[in-house]
Amino acid sequence: MWRSGFFSDHLITYLPNARLEIKKKILVTGATGFVGQVLVTRLHELGYAVRAALHSPSSRFSTEDSLVVGDIDGGTSWQEALKSIECVVHLASRTHVTEEQSVDPLSAYRKINVTGTACLAKQALASGVRRFVFMSSIKVNGESTTNEPFRESSPPRPQDPYGISKLEAEHALHSVSNNMGMETVTLRPPLVYGPGVKGNLLRLLRMIDHGIPLPLASINNRRSFIGVHNLADAIVFAIEAQAAADQTYLISDGEDLSTPELIRKLSSLMGRHPGLWPCPAALLNFGATLICKREEASRLTGSLQVDSSRIRGELGWQPRHSLDQGLKAMVQWYHQMPN
């Protein structure tokens, strides 16, 4: 088992504010992405030596601390990128696509998320990498919760090609590393928010900003979130904590909100009227089904709660930033965006 050079398990609680005395060389895939940019900054703050694996050259990274690997699939060569690397943090993936264009979405997801992950893991193992941190998704567990939140013990029930590919990637990773000397840590976050956010949450910010009425006042749901800076800290714990070896953790801020509560908080921070008006959830879902938007509607009307007590208890991780702080930072970033 990999033994940390500086942090013991009882000191790991103080990791977010500590600085490493012994630098580990970390390879980060997806380093130019939403989570990747925050993570690389955090790792540098803590004294890690970071190498960014890039799809194409980026002005964010110098040639000394990055390497272009191109497309990620079963044929990607990672040999140069993995030289002297002690830990891989694999963030890069084909993410959830709202307007799917592929005629075979599952194959498209598998090519990058499953085959590409297995290819990287095999080469990492052969290169002597000690730990592999994999960013999965709560979609592995499913799309919604009812009476209880998802826990690590909850059976996987992915409902879409993205979730299926993430579960298959977890299995592929475990098959490669099983008893072969490379420890793995898997994180399954829910919706990630914060400065630089994209996708549905960015669309919601724009709708609130433009005063678009939202028929969501009657929704009574609970959804978990994770701030991008809190997630970056959790990844550092996954890199360092001895107890994390070969474990899977569900992670969230621990402050669940209903959809109307989220909209009201964002509207207040943006200085806008929330524009909420009542409409039964069943009617919303029915209308969304008619226009082939049922999946998008379910994220607004349904519940998805995550119990992150295991990572808090075993690793001592705690969110450094509250949900309100994270939402405020996201709104400030949004206001600074060019029109």
Angle at 49 (CA atoms; ends 45, 54), nearest 5 degrees: 100
**Measuring CA to CA, which residue among 174, 319, 168 is closest to residue 245?**
174
Nearest C-alpha neighbor of 232 from the set 253, 246, 248: 253
Whole-number Å distance between alpha carbons of 120 and 238:
18
Radius of gyration for the chain, computed over Cα atoms and rounded to the nearest angstrom: 20
E runs forming strands in the chain: 25-29, 49-54, 66-68, 87-90, 131-135, 183-188, 191-193, 225-227, 247-250
CA distance 21 to 30: 26
- Residues forming beta bridges with residue 199, ordered by sequence position: none
Provide the Cα torsion 292, 98, 227, 218; round to 10°: -20
334 is catalytic: no
* Phi (first) and psi of residue 81, to 5 degrees: -65, -30
- What is the b/e burial string over 99-134, where b = at least 16 CB atoms within 10 angstroms of the residue's CB? eeeeeebeebbbbbbbbbbbbbbbbbbebebbbbbb
Contact (Cβ atoms closer than 8 angstroms) between residue 202 and residue 97: no
Distance between CA atoms of residues 252 and 231, nearest Å? 8
Q: Which two tokens stand for residue 222?
A: 């609970």
Selecting among 14, 48, 109, 162, the annotated active-site residue is 162
Q: Is 313 exposed, middle or buried (0-12, 13-18, 19+ CB in 10 A)?
A: exposed
Active-site annotation, residues: 162
